[in-house]
Amino acid sequence: MSTPKKPGKTPPDKHVDEFSGVSTTGHEWDGIKELNNPLPRWWLWTFYACIAFALTYSVFYPAWPFGSKATPGLLGYSSRAEFAATMDAVQTGNQAMLTQIAQTPVSDILADPELARFATAAGASAFKVNCTQCHGTGAAGGPGYPNLNDDSWIWGGTIDEVYTTIAHGVRSLTDPDTRYNIMPNFGADGLLDTAAINQVAGYVASLSGVKGGQSTPEGATIFAENCVACHGEGGVGVVELGGPDLTDAIWLYDGSLEAIKAQIQKPRHGMMQAWSEKLDDVVIKELAVYVHGLGGGQ
C-alpha cells in the first residue's frame, strides 16, 4: 500500500540534494533535510588520537577504578607521593634556613638578602598570629599601641633595639630585662600644681603645633626642670629611657592638649609582654626583621 504524495512534501527516503550534490540521511524536519556529509578527516583523526592517548595513559598512570583504589599504572606515579616529596623538599629547605637564623645574630640577618627575605616572610605570618590584635593588621597601631610603620620609635628603631623590645617586652611583670620606665605622677602626687601643668602642657603642645598649644618661658622652664631627663632637650625623646619624642606630632595616646594634660596629671603606661616567654628565639628574630623592615627601621 502506498500513501498518496502530498504536494510540497518529499517522502522520508534518501535522495541526492540537488544544490550540494550530497545524499541526505532521509531525516527531515519542517522541510529541512539532513545532509549525509562524512565527518571531516582532521576531526576523525583527532578523535582516534584522543582514544589512543587515553588508553595509553590508562596503562601507564593510575586510571581505572579498582576496588577502593584505582589501577596503579606501570609508572607507579601518585600525586599524593609527589605532594609529599615536594613538602619534604620545602621542609628540608626551611630547616636549613631556620638553623641559619638560629645561628646568625639578628643584625647580620639583614646583610644576607636571602635569609632576610625568608625571615621577613616568616615574621609577617608570626605577626599576624601574635601581634595584630594590639598593633593592627597593617601594624599601624592605635591609641596606646604604637604604630610600627613610622620612623618614630619609643624604644629605638635599630634591628637590635627592636629585637630587644620584642624579646623582653615593655613593663613586663615577669621579665627582669624588660624595657622599663615610669613617668612620675606630676599632678596626682603634687609635684606640679594645676597652673604649672597647664603651662608645661601648653609648651609641649606648641612643640608639634597641637591646637591650643602655647610656648611660654614658664612652660619651657618647667619642662627643662622636670621633663628633659626622659624626653630630652627640647622634647626630642630619649630612646634608652622610652621617653617618647614630643615634637614629632606622633602620639602614643591622643595628641590633644587635654590628653597631654591628663598624661602629666596621672600618666598612663603601655605594657607588652616579653615575647621570649612565649615564642622561640628564631621567631623573635624573624619578627624583629619583619617589624624593622616595615618602613621605619633605622
For ligand HEC, the binding residues (CB under 6 A) are: 127, 130-131, 133-135, 144-146, 148, 153-155, 162, 165-166, 170, 181, 183-184, 186, 200, 204, 226-227, 229-231, 242-244, 246, 251-253, 260, 263-264, 268-272, 275, 287, 291
Instruction: Tell me whether residue 36 or residue 185 sits nearer to ligand HEC (CB atom).
Output: 185
Distance CA 25, CA 33 (A): 8
Tell me which residue has its CB nearest to ligand HEC: 270
Contact between 257 and 212 under an 8 Å Cβ cutoff? The reply is yes
How far is residue 93 from each of residues 96, 100, 116, 119, measured CA to CA in Å? Answer: 5, 11, 15, 13
Closest alpha carbon to 275 in 153, 149, 77, 135? 135
Instruction: Tell me whether residue 98 or residue 201 sits nearer to ligand HEC (CB atom).
Output: 201
Q: Cβ 113 to ligand HEC, closest distance in Å? A: 22
State CA 161 to chain mean position distance.
23
Instruction: Tell me whether residue 98 or residue 148 sits nearer to ligand HEC (CB atom).
Output: 148
Instruction: Tell me whether residue 98 or residue 260 sits nearer to ligand HEC (CB atom).
Output: 260
Residue with cell 626551611: 94
Q: Give the count of beta carbons closer than 10 Å to the beta carbon of residue 21.
A: 8
Distance CA 135, CA 158 (A): 19
Instruction: Tell me whether residue 62 or residue 202 sits nearer to ligand HEC (CB atom).
Output: 202
Closest alpha carbon to 286 in 162, 121, 128? 121
Instruction: Tell me whether residue 28 or residue 281 sits nearer to ligand HEC (CB atom).
Output: 281
State CA 103 to chain mean position distance.
26
Distance CA 44, CA 61 (A): 25
Q: Cβ 145 to ligand HEC, closest distance in Å? A: 5
